[in-house]
Every structure is written in structure tokens, then in C-alpha cells.
Amino acid sequence: MTKVRRASCVVRGVYLAAIALGALSSGAHAQRQWAAQLDLVGGPLYFDLFTESRGARICNGSECSAANWTRDADSLRLTIPDYDAVMVAAVRNDSLIGYYHNIGRLGPRTIPFRARARPDGILRAPQRRELYGSWDATFTTDGRTSPRVFILRDGGEGMAGAVISNTGDYGRFTGRVEGDTLRFSHFDGSFIYMFTAHLDGQTLRGTFHAGLRTQTSFTAVRSTGQRHLTPPEEMTQADTAPFRFAFRDLEGRPVTQDDPRFRGKVVIVDLFGTWCPTCHDAAAALKGLYTRYHGRGLEIVGLAYEVSGDTATDARMVRTFRDKLGLPWPLLLAGTPNAASQNATQPQLVNFTAYPTTLFLGRDGRIRRTHAGFYGPATGAAHTALIADFSREVEQLLSE
Amino acid sequence: MRTLLLATALLAPSQLVSQAAPADLARERADRVQWLSADPLSPARAIALATIPPAGLTIGGDASDIPLGTATSATVREAAGRVTLTGWGPDRTLPAGRATATHGVRLLPFGASGRTQLLVYRDDKPGKRPVYFPYSTAAKLSVTLTPSAPRVQRILAPDGATVEATEIGTVAVTFGGAAVPLRVMRVSIGEDESQLLINFRDGTTGAGTYPAGRFVELIPLGHDRYTLDLNRAFNPYCAYSSIFPCPLPWSGNTIVARVEAGEKYPAEVVPR
């Protein structure tokens, strides 16, 4: 029962959509802002907490997760519905002191939590622009190494960042500098990530913290443009036959590659799950491509891999995903996110391991490119570059 | 203050040497007590753990693989990563890693496809309340990890699951006598998270604490330094339900002295 990284963070996309619609503006006057922290073994992980008339938000800069809250005379209780997690704190004047709790099959997880009210709004930590840019990090665990890329940049509301592995990014990080120590973190109500580092000459040396206690040491050097991560187009291999699929849509109708809407078109196949935050980012980006190129012959089809495996439940989740993002293309229920289901439903792919995985089909229906993972908006320039790259790919395929 | 002092003076001597557990440990324990004694998925409520065979597992009636004493039986099957329940109303999917409540039980499939296991918890089976030795400052140790060449092996984790663990070295523990090197294993608990576990026996094993030994997790202090807080020693799941396979303490990991700290074995009368 391995916890998938950043799994089931559906609320994030939902919440951002709500902000875009201005749905929360009426409760803004009741909002209270808190400078909050989890006290990990490796030091404090800072985040912003907002308690508002309609709910609460746990924020890493501009990226927030939704929570509910209740308060009585001397305690505040935040519940994070999608994660079965709660934060319970005693209220003392303008402070909260308590604990974050959730229960998994391996038992309870308990992490000290504190916050203080910040009536003047969020304080902006000073920027350290000399650290900005892309860093090639090497994590070392028990003598084995694995690559990551750190992206540090001006996030508008302070220092922001991203951590990218071979299968995508970990969500938005926000950062600050305390003395010599750089401290970047991400907390969405369940996933707890932080890296602390100091600059030693031209090398960042530090520790990556996951959860309360796990610590992994790393070094990072400025990216040179040389390959560090496995390129996303090399992660998954495809055969050369026309791509075939046959799944049911959300209304139960069978849809295949022979549907007239796909014939002779350039098709993007989005292998996704509503539980995967990065998939929300990717679908939003694909919508931009669809808007630009649909008139010239681009089609998109989404193949959903949902956790419950129950058709009614999965269809409901995917429908919500579709409606929140306003996706105009067919979304089909393809399977569940495990190796057996993936292999059974995608016999033309080898090493389909990342969500999302994006397939580009030429007008002849053959897979011309696979792309594992996605660089979300948290990655800044990498996100912009990826969208430009996808656009070029679509332009090229349309022109053939 | 005067009343408080008087009350303290009346406590038994053994309680005087102990102190209140620090707030974070007290909170962790409160959560663990709540989980084991009251949570629907307390290991104490587990009544069956079985690999789902190709023909499926039957559950319910007396002739079932997992008898519950119910009038009707159902079958749990797995195909292509999907676990289904048939026979109790309309067919339904049992999501992996999540418990589905039905007929007074909770069914939780987990593990790799093709070797999916089913855990069954019974709602009317009572939980068990863990009990603890008084907090002991002497049981909170600072230790240094002496690394060894990492060696991957299969072990039983505290929940009885067979997992791949990496033996990464030893920590020397001096506790009421000679220093004992305790072997340390890294057990993954997610893509980016792991625990540094020690499975050990001590003078209380089978005489106040669980006969098959206890686990404790190292808390990193930076570099190769760790806190080994034996007040945090905990029982494997098999102490709370016999359906869980019981890890045997790793060879060599024996502290001769009695470590009167951490979790006791509630099934035994603890000698005083």
C-alpha cells in the first residue's frame, strides 16, 4: 500500500477554479490569516493558513488546498476531507498550538502544528535572486543516488520553487532564507515536503525532508543543460502500429479510435487520473492547445485511471474534473492506476508509469511521441517551455 | 503549589523517578491509544488476512474461507488489478487501500496485483488499549549510526507485511551494562518516505513486554546522529491480533537489561 506521491489532491484544482470565479470573494471580510508551521524533526515547515467564512485554505504561496474549520471557545479544528486529516489546536490569544493528525493503515501520524495570527497580511520574505534558476540535484540514500531538478524563482509573492523527479513535479514550493539556510517547502494537507540547504561555493548542500522524520541528503549544482533527469519522452516506449483503444465514456457509451471524430486528425491522448494534481495542471494546459488547434484538426481524448474501480464512483469523479476544468473532449474510463490494469489496457506501451502520460498521434493514428509526467505551473519557465514544445509538436503533426 | 508538593510526596517511589512524557510524545501516544482502542481499522479488530487466490475468497457463512456466522456468503475476487465483491447485494468493487464497510465488517484489499491481500476487520470486535511504562528520561538516548554496506533483504514489517528493507548499519546502545550494537533497517513507507527501524528484545521481553520483541524508530538529528527514544518502543500488530504474522526480533538485537520504557504487553499481567 505504497502512498503515491501527491495522490488524491482533487480539491486543489477545484479550489483554484473557485477562486477564478470569484466565488469566495463575499467571505473575504471574515478572513483571518495565520503564519503557520509544522514542526518536523528537521525544523519548521512554514505555510499560510486562511480561516474564512466559507472554509479554510492551506496555501503554499498562491497554490491552496481547501479545508473546513470549526471553532469553539478555546480550540480550532481544521478538517482536510480528502485526506482524512485533521488539525486541532488550542487558541491562545492570537496563537494556535496543536497537532496535525491523520491515520493510515500503518497507524496514526502526529505532527506538532503552530500558527500565529497575522493581521497585516502575509509578510514577504526577502528574495535571494542569486539562487534563482535551475539546479541539478542528486539525492543519496544508502549509497544509491537518484536525480531531481530544483527550480527556484520569484513567485510573485516571494521565493517559489519546484522539485521535479523523473515522473513530474511535487507541486508548488515556497521558500525563505534564514541566516545561511535556504528553506523551501510544500504542504497541501497530506503531502509534506521540504528541502533545507546552504550554498557551499557553487554547490547547494542540504537535506530533503518528507513527512515528519524522513531525511535524504543531497547536493545540487547549477543546471548546465546537460541531461540530468531521464527525458520525459524516453520514459515510456510505444509500438509503431496505429494506436487502438476501446473504453466507455461517462455515459456508458463505447468509444474507439475509429470514432469519426478522430479519423484523419492529430490526436492527443491524455492518460490521467483525477487523484493526480499534476494531471489537473496538464489538462488545463491541453485545453489551451485544444482551443488553438481544434479548428485545424486537433482532437484530444482523455483516458482516466481512477482509484475506486467502481464505474459509478469513477464516472462521478471524472465528471467533476471535466466540469471544473471545462474540458470539451471525450473522457473515457480506462482502468485503475496499478500495473495490472495499466498493462492490460495499454498493450502498446512499455513503462507506462507516470501520471499524466501524454501521447501524440499523427493523422495516420500512430504514436509519434510519448511524454511522461508534466511540469506544472509551479515549475515556471519549465512549464512555459513545455507548453511551447507541445504546441510545436502539434503544429508539426498538423502540417503533415 | 503547596498542595501539589504534598500530592507528589504521596506518590510511590517508582513513580517519583519518572517524569511526565514530553508533550509531543504524549500526543503521539494519545493518538495511538485512540487508534488501537477505538478506530474501526484498529489492528485489534482484524479477524482475517488472506491472499486472494485465483478462485476467490469466500466470506460469511460457516463453510466460508472467512466465516463470520452470517446467513449468506460472498466472494472476493481479483482480476486485472480490480477487486470485486459478489453475493452480498449488487456486485461491487472494493477499492485498493481503502476499507469498504458491509455486513458488520470492513474489507480492505491491499498489495501488489496478482498477490492482493484482503484484510477483514470486524466492527463488533473490541479494540485494545495499549499500556505504557512511565516515561523514563534514561531511556531517551543519543546514538551514532555506524554505517555498513547497505544490504537489501526481506523482513516482516511491524504490520506483519513482508517488505524489502535495507540494513544500513548499527547503533551502539549502552543501557544498564555493556554496549550492544543494534541493527538498523530502512523500510520504505512511500515513494519519498522511509522509517529507520530497530526490532529488539530486552530483559522485559516476555516478562512485561511482548514476547516477540518490540520496534523503535530512529529520529534523525543530522549527519549520523539519531535519537533512540525507547519510550517510543512499540509492539508489532501481532500483539493486538493473532492474524498478523509476527516478526521475530532480528538476530543480535538483544539488550540484556530491562528496558522499562515504551509499550507494555496488555495481555499479560505486568509483574511489579
Shortest Cα distance from B196 to chain A (angstroms)?
9
Average pLDDT, integer, range B222-242:
94
The pLDDT value given to residue B118: 94
Angle formed by the axes of helices A10-20 and A277-293, to 10°? 50
What residues are paired with B156 via a beta bridge?
A: B162
* A100 band by pLDDT with thresholds 50, 70 and 90: very high
- pTM metric for this prediction: 0.85
Residue of A nearest to B37 (CA): A107
For residue A256, is pLDDT > 90?
Answer: yes
What confidence category does residue B41 fall into, taking pLDDT thresholds of 50, 70 and 90?
Answer: very high
Q: What is the distance in angstroms between the Cα of B100 and the nearest Cα belonging to chain A?
A: 11
* CB nearest to A341's CB, from B28, B82, B110: B82
Residue A76 has pLDDT above 60, yes or no: yes
Q: Which of A26-40, A44-58, B43-57, B225-239 has the lowest mean pLDDT?
A: A26-40
The ipTM value here is 0.86
Give the 3-state DSSP-derived string for chain B, with helices as H, strands as E and coil as C.
CHHHHHHHHCCCHHHHCCCCCCHHHHHHHHHHHHHHHHCCCCHHHEEEEEECCCCCEEEECCCCCEECCCCCCEEEEEECCEEEEEECEEEEECCCCCCEEECCEEEEEECCCCCCEEEEEECCCCCCCCCECCCCHHHEEEEEEEEEEEEEEEEECCCCCEEEEEEEEEEEEECCCCEEEEEEEEEECCCCCEEEEEEEECCCECCCECCCCEEEECEEEECCEEEEEHHHCECCHHHCCCCCCCCCCCCCCECCCCCCCCECCCCCCCCC
pLDDT at residue B233 above 80? yes
Confidence (pLDDT) at B266:
67
**Rounded to a whole number, what is the distance in Å from the CA of B195 to chain A's nearest CA?**
7
Indicate if the pLDDT at residue B110 is higher than 90: no
pLDDT over 80 at A17, yes or no: no
A186 contacts A194 by C-beta, under 8 angstroms: yes
**Residue B66 in this model has a pLDDT that exceeds 70:** yes
| A358-384 residues labelled b (16+ CB within 10 A) or e (exposed) | bbbbbbebebbbbbbbbbbbbbbebbe
B92 touches chain A (CB under 8 A): yes
- Average pLDDT for chain A: 87
DSSP secondary structure letter of residue A30: G
Residue A125: pLDDT band (50, 70, 90) is: low
Note whether A214 contacts B: Cβ–Cβ < 8 A: yes
Instruction: Give mean pLDDT, residues A91-118.
Output: 90
Higher pLDDT pick, B271 / A132: A132
Residue B172 has pLDDT above 60, yes or no: yes
What does the alpha-carbon distance between residue A376 and residue A381 come to, in Å, rounded to a whole number? 10
Question: What single DSSP character describes residue A309?
Answer: -
Contact A110 B24 (CB under 8 A): yes
A138 part of contact set with chain B, CB < 8 Å: no
pLDDT at A62: 84
- Extract the C-alpha cell encoding A291: 482551443
How high is the pLDDT of residue A53?
86
Q: Residue range B188-192: average pLDDT? A: 85
**More reliable by pLDDT, B17 or A14:** B17
Residue contact A335–B81, C-beta within 8 A? yes
Q: Any CB–CB contact under 8 A between A310 and chain B?
A: yes
How far is B109 from B120, CA to CA, in rounded Å? 9
- Rounded Cα–Cα distance for residues A398 and B152 (Å): 50
B242-261 pLDDT, tens digit each: 999 999 889 999 999 999 99
Where is average pLDDT lowest: A236-240, A295-299, B6-10, B153-157?
B6-10
Q: Which residues contact A191 (CB under 8 A, 6 or more apart)?
A: A5, A6, A9, A170, A171
Does residue A344 sit at the B interface (CB-CB below 8 Å)? yes
Banded pLDDT at B35 (limits 50, 70, 90): very high
pLDDT at residue number A3: 35
Using 50, 70 and 90 to split pLDDT, how confident is the model at A24? very low
Instruction: For the beta carbon of residue A61, count every other beta carbon within 10 angstroms.
Output: 21
| CB-count burial class (<10 Å; 0-12, 13-18, 19+) for A43 | middle
**B170 and B251 Cβ atoms separated by less than 8 Å:** no
Evaluate if residue B125 carries a pLDDT over 70: yes
Residue B14 has φ and ψ, to the nearest 5°, of -65, -30
Give the ranges where chain A is alpha helix by DSSP (H).
10-20, 232-235, 277-293, 311-325, 339-345, 381-399
Mean pLDDT for A212-240 is 94
**What confidence category does residue A22 fall into, taking pLDDT thresholds of 50, 70 and 90?**
very low
Percent of chain A with pLDDT over 90: 66
| Residue A129 identity (one-letter amino acid) | R
Q: C-alpha grid cell for residue A381?
A: 519557465
Distance from CA of B10 to the nearest CA of A (A): 32
Which of B108, B186, B193 is facing A210, going by the closest CB pair? B193
Does A108 contact chain B (CB < 8 Å)? yes
Count the alpha carbons within 13 Å of B33 in the hemisphere toward its beta carbon: 14
How does strand B89-93 pair with strand B82-87?
A: antiparallel
Distance CA B239, CA B214 (A): 10
* Cα A21 from Cα A58, distance rounded (Å): 19
CA distance A99 to A7: 22
Query: Is it the case that residue A2 has pLDDT exceeding 50?
Result: no
A173 touches chain B (CB under 8 A): no
A219 contacts A211 by C-beta, under 8 angstroms: no
